[in-house]
Amino acid sequence: MIEFHKIYDKMVTVPGFYMLFERKEEKMGMKSFRLRRMEQYILEKENVSMEELCEEFDMSMNTVRMDVAELVKKGSVKKVYGGVCSNRQNSLVPFEERKMKNSDKKKAVCRAAAELVDDGDIVFVDSGTTAMYLTDYLDENKNVTVLTNNLNLIMRAVPCENVQVICLPGILERKTNSFVSAETGKILARYNIKKAFFAATGVTESGDVTNSSSLEYEIKREAMNNSEHSYLLLDSSKYGKSALLTFAHISDMERVFVDEEAGTPLLSICERYNVNVTKVNVTE
């Protein structure tokens, strides 16, 4: 006889139809499940009307409005005239274009973050353009080992004789100027990382830290899991934006480094989760 209580949660999705198989003892709240279904539907369709949501989920307009308001607050969707659309930035902007944008802010953030690096540290620096200037500001009297797949950071570290660079392997992804593969994260897991410095495509209003590349996601997650301290390097324009994948929550970060234009909403969410913030003066 089949023991149905041993069946694991499973979501089956077909156009316009959702089925849930779950263990009774793990049944989630109906509202939470409904919000997840609605969010998934909107992200898949990219743009839907409020009337379509009412029909698809068999709910009143008032209930749909309340649910949409929560998703808008989360940052994954946004309101448009007559409906709602995905707020995900699924297409990755070319590296050179991202490198040029807000470069003064990114350099200032890296200058402040570099002060945390101590002599003998083993640090991970990810592929984001906000993090690529970190080695420029390391104290030349400190011997540091840097693990990275960031091609630009590798090149910038060449003149720094006190910096030992361990290049993570992979195929060069030109959109990110980084080396990525399915094995890169597994190789990173071998190293004992003292401090990890992350960039992000966006940080949502609910505190999700997101990026656009699935392979970069795996590398970031492995670095998060294998480091003693994690720091987020952010230029203020990234707040309120969302990308394809969430690799961390703001509460996972020990400190956030951000430029002086950071607004109250970002500072408030950091305060809510007891995350230290360093606001950097770009003109210094």
C-alpha closest to that of 178 among 122, 212, 248, 129:
129
| pLDDT of amino acid 78 | 84
Provide CB contacts within 8 A for 224, sequence distance 6+: 196, 198, 230, 247, 248, 252
Same domain, 102 and 54: no
Same domain, 243 and 265: yes
| pLDDT of amino acid 89 | 53
Domain limits for position 11: 4-86
**Phi-psi category of residue 35: left, alpha or beta, with phi > 0 → left and psi -120 to 50 → alpha:** alpha
Q: CATH no. for residue 108?
A: 3.40.50.1360
Same domain, 119 and 228: yes
| pLDDT of amino acid 28 | 46
| pLDDT of amino acid 226 | 94
pTM above 0.75, yes or no: no
Same domain, 159 and 127: yes
| pLDDT of amino acid 265 | 92
Total number of domains constituting the chain: 2
Strands 208-211 and 202-203: antiparallel
Same domain, 229 and 205: yes
* Last residue in a domain, options 86, 109, 144: 86
| pLDDT of amino acid 169 | 92
Same domain, 99 and 82: no
Q: How many CB atoms lie within 10 A of CB 278?
A: 14
Q: CATH no. for residue 80?
A: 1.10.10
Same domain, 168 and 273: yes
| pLDDT of amino acid 5 | 40
* Last residue in a domain, options 69, 86, 103: 86
| pLDDT of amino acid 267 | 94
Same domain, 169 and 189: yes
Same domain, 69 and 192: no
**Cβ atoms of 210 and 203 closer than 8 Å:** yes
* Last residue in a domain, options 86, 107, 138: 86
Same domain, 253 and 112: yes
The alpha helices in 120-257, defined as continuous H runs, are: 151-157, 184-188, 214-225
Same domain, 163 and 124: yes
Same domain, 99 and 187: yes
As averages over each run of 10 residues, the pLDDT of the chain (284 residues) reads 40 41 46 81 79 90 90 82 71 47 84 96 93 93 96 93 94 88 89 96 91 86 95 91 88 96 93 96 77
| pLDDT of amino acid 112 | 96
